[in-house]
Amino acid sequence: MSLFSVAVHIVPRRGLLDPQGKAVADALHSLGFADVRDVRVGRHLVVQADASSAADAEASVRRMCEQLLANPVTEDFELEAPRPA
Amino acid sequence: MRFGIVTFPGSNCDSDAYHAVADVLGAEAVRLWHKDHDLQGADVVILPGGFSYGDYLRAGAIARFSPIMREVVAHARRGAPVLGICNGFQIACEAGLLPGALLRNQSLKFVCCPVRLRVENAETLFTHRYAPGQLLSVPIAHGEGRFSADDATLDRLEGDGQVIFRYVDETGAVTDDANPNGSARNIAGIVSAEGNVLGMMPHPERAVDALLGSTDGLALFEGLLDRVAA
């Protein structure tokens, strides 16, 4: 077993109203970033876990997302490739 | 008939709920700690409002893994009544007892005020003491109350009479202005397909005393008392 670090990005599902993202987009527009089309605000988690391989670490964190870290009704998640911690 | 009121770390409406059923209604009530594994004979379980586990991760996401929730879910699966109010609604959704999710209010503001509700289904365990379409004044107090579900789920909820309360204006009309949090289709409360789990963002337990502005919530608890006792 070795220690891996897996970064998780969780964002509101596309198509769902994200009022935080909209407020940030409005603020960027008022700063002059006229090119901004859309902003979505989510969460970034870094999980450190023992696993026998990078694939096992990723599978394990994926189950964590499905069971707790992301809400399957309203959120999507992406994992970054596990890195040795 | 015994009410059981769960206290999670961060619950803050557990005493209000206890007061409503024990002191105002005069029913038997027992307080349940989140680490308990025993509902102590409660016939109706109330998941109260508050900020369980500081709303960390998502409102209700961590409370659903409290030890007592195993018993609460089993209680609900047996068809016994569960009432989730505010944070309790969020916990019930996270626990899979109700469909959908409660998201950050569209305004991004915490909203604390009385709202007007319309009773959409007066034939449930929880609402049979109300008249169909009756208008109620009940307070809300939440930052994450925007009910959200996919269209197919919303259609099913509407078609099966599972939408119990809706936010309306003074005349009973469903309008955007009357929607305090941006909830899909102005939905304020729903029941499970079996009808035994009610989740609602407004606080009926804070509308049981004229001194505090409304007694419109009392009939919900009275209805449970006479239906479950019978």
DSSP result, A3-39: EEEEEEEEEEPTTS--HHHHHHHHHHHHTT-TT----
pLDDT at B230: 54
Query: According to the model, what pLDDT value does residue A14 have?
Result: 87
pLDDT tens, residue by residue, A43-52? 999 999 999 9
Domains with residue ranges and CATH for chain B: 2-229 (3.40.50.880)
Chain A residues in contact with B57 by the CB 8 A cut-off are 43, 68-69
Contact state of B149 with A23 under an 8 Å Cβ cutoff: no
Judge contact between B4 and B45, C-beta under 8 A.
yes
Averaged over B62-83, what is the pLDDT? 97
Q: Is-catalytic flag, B205?
A: yes
B108 to chain A, any CB pair closer than 8 A? The answer is: yes
Q: Which residues of A touch B143 (CB under 8 A)?
A: none
B66 residue type, one letter:
S
DSSP result, chain B: -EEEEEE-TTB-SHHHHHIIIIIIS--EEEEEETT-S--TT-SEEEE--B-GGGG-SSTTTTGGGSHHHHHHHHHHHTT--EEEETHHHHHHHHTTSSSSEEE--TTSS-EEEEEEEEES--SSTTTTTSPTT-EEEEEEEESS-EEE--HHHHHHHHHTT-EEEEE--TTS---STT-SS--GGGEEEEE-TTS-EEEESS-GGGSSBGGGTB-TTHHHHHHHHHHHH-
> CATH no. for residue A14?
3.30.1280.10
Pair of tokens at residue A55: 């694939």
* Residue A60: burial class (beta carbons within 10 Å; 0-12, 13-18, 19+): middle
On whether the CB atoms of residues B199 and B190 are closer than 8 A, the answer is yes
Quick one: closest CA in B to A74, which residue?
Answer: B101
Tokens of B83: 């009432």
- Tell me if B4 sits within 8 A of B37, measured CB to CB: no
Instruction: Give the ipTM.
Output: 0.86
Length of chain A: 85
Question: Using the beta-carbon criterion (under 8 Å), do A74 and B101 form an inter-chain contact?
Answer: yes
A71 with B61: Cβ contact below 8 A: yes
CA neighbor of B220 nearest in space, from B129, B149, B151: B129
B38-57 residue pLDDT tens = 999 999 999 999 999 999 99
Q: For B108, which of A20, A43, A68 is closest by C-beta distance? A: A20
**How many structural domains compose chain A?**
1
- Domain with A72, as residue range(s), is 2-84
Q: Which of A47, A71, A75, A76 to mutate to test the interface with B (most CBs of B within 10 A)?
A: A71
Q: Is B86 designated active site?
A: yes
CB contact under 8 A, A73 and B148: yes
| pTM of the predicted model as reported, rounded to 2 decimal places | 0.94
Distance to chain B for A74, nearest Cα, Å: 7
A-chain residues near B146 (CB < 8 A) = 17
Residue A80 per-residue DSSP state = P
User: What are B171-181's pLDDT values in tens digits?
Assistant: 999 999 999 99
Out of B71, B75, B86, B120, the active site residue is B86
B113 in active site: no
A17 with B182: Cβ contact below 8 A: yes
Per-residue pLDDT band at B93 (split at 50, 70, 90):
very high
B152 touches chain A (CB under 8 A): no
Q: Are A42 and A69 in contact (CB under 8 A)?
A: no
The pLDDT score that the predictor gives to residue B170 is 97
pLDDT in tens, A3-43: 999 999 999 998 899 999 999 999 999 999 999 999 999 99
